[in-house]
Structure 1
C-alpha cells in the first residue's frame, strides 16, 4: 500500500508541473498581466539541458538496476534513481514557477498561479495572455511546451519503471 501511495505522489508531483485543467482563483489583475514575461528560450534551453542530462543518468541507473542480481544492490540503485527523479521533478516545476516559460511569474505575480496552489489558472485566465503574444513569442512558447511535454513523458516512463521494480521485489 505504501508503494502505491509513493507512486501516486510521484505522479501527482509530475503532473502538477502542467497547468492543464486548472481553474482561476480570482480575476487576474490587469497590471500584473501587463508585466508578464515573454518566454525565455535561452534560459529554458539551459534548464532543459540539465534535465536531459539527468534523464540520461536515470537511464544509466535503470540499466544497472536491470543488470544486478543482488537485491540489496538493486534497492540501493532504486533509491539513487528515485533521488535523481525527484531532483528532476523539482527542476521541471521550477520552469513553470519561475515564469521562464512565459505567462506566469510564480509566487511574485499578483493574480498569477503557483505550483499546486489554489490560484492556478486554466485557459480562462490565460486567454488574454495568449492573445497579446506576438507570432514569434507564440512560436517560442510552443517550442518550449513541446520540449517540456517530451521531458514530462520521459519522467513518467521512469516513474513507471520505478514502480515496476518496487512491485517486483
Structure 2
C-alpha cells in the first residue's frame, strides 16, 4: 500500500465522524414529515403478520422435509421472505411511525435529541407512538425468532 493511499484512508477515518455529525445536524434542522396514522400502521402490521405466518409455515415444512433439494429450496424461500419482512418493518420504523425523525440518526442519536422529539408530542401522539412501538417490538421479536430458527436449520440435516 503506497503512502498516498494510506494517507487517504487515515484522512477518511478522521473526517468520517465529523461528517456524520454534520449530516445529523442538517437532518435535525429539516422539518419532520407527518407520521404514519394508526390505520396505516395497522395495515402495515397486518401485512407483516401475514408475512410472519407464511415464514412460520415455511419453517414447519423445512423441519418436516427429508428431501435435501426441497429443503434447500424452502430455506431459500424462507430467506427471501425474511428479507421482505425486514424491509417492511424498516419502512415502518424509518419513514412511518417515527415520522422519519429517526431515519439517518442510527445509534448515534443521543438522549437530548430523543428528549426533544418526545417533548414535542401531544399526549395523544405519545399514546399512538407507544401503541406502535409496543406492536413493532413484538413483531421484531418474532422476526428474530424466525432468524434464529433459520440459522439453526441451515446446517441441520433432514430428519
TM-score, normalised via structure 1 length: 0.71
Tell me which of 86, 98, 101 is aligned to 1:102: 98
Deviations 1:95-121 (A, max 9, x none): 1222x113425xxxxxx63386x8x52
SS in structure 2 at match of 1:137: helix
Check conservation: 1:40, 1:102, Cα contact below 8 A: no
Q: Which residue in 2 is equivalent to 1:19?
A: none
The answer to whether the aligner puts 1:126 opposite 2:123 as a matched pair is no
Deviations 1:14-57 (A, max 9, x none): xxxxxxxxxx8344667535x45345211111111100000000
Q: Which residue in 1 is equivalent to 2:14?
A: none
SS in structure 1 at match of 2:66: coil
Rounded Cα–Cα distance in structure 2 between residues aligned with 1:84 and 1:164 = 17
Q: Which residue in 1 is equivalent to 2:41?
A: 44
* TM-aligned CA distance change 1:131 to 1:36, over 3 Å: farther
Rounded Cα–Cα distance in structure 2 between residues aligned with 1:30 and 1:84 = 34
Choose 1 or 2 for highest CA Rg.
Answer: 2
Q: Which residue in 2 is equivalent to 1:167?
A: 155
Structure 2: any 5+ residue segments left out of the alignment? Answer: 1-19
Aligned residue pair count: 136
Rounded Cα–Cα distance in structure 2 between residues aligned with 1:139 and 1:132 = 13
The answer to whether the aligner puts 1:73 opposite 2:70 as a matched pair is yes
Question: Greater helix percent: which structure?
Answer: 2
Deviations 1:33-90 (A, max 9, x none): 5x45345211111111100000000011011111111111111101101100000001
Q: Which residue in 2 is equivalent to 1:16?
A: none
* TM-aligned CA distance change 1:103 to 1:124, over 3 Å: farther
Rounded Cα–Cα distance in structure 2 between residues aligned with 1:115 and 1:31 = 13
Rounded Cα–Cα distance in structure 1 between residues aligned with 2:151 and 2:28 = 44
How far apart are residue 126 of structure 1 and its match? 1.9
Deviations 1:120-142 (A, max 9, x none): 52433221110111111101000
CA RMSD of aligned residues (A): 2.4
TM-score, normalised via structure 2 length: 0.75
Tell me which of 72, 97, 103 is aligned to 1:113: 103
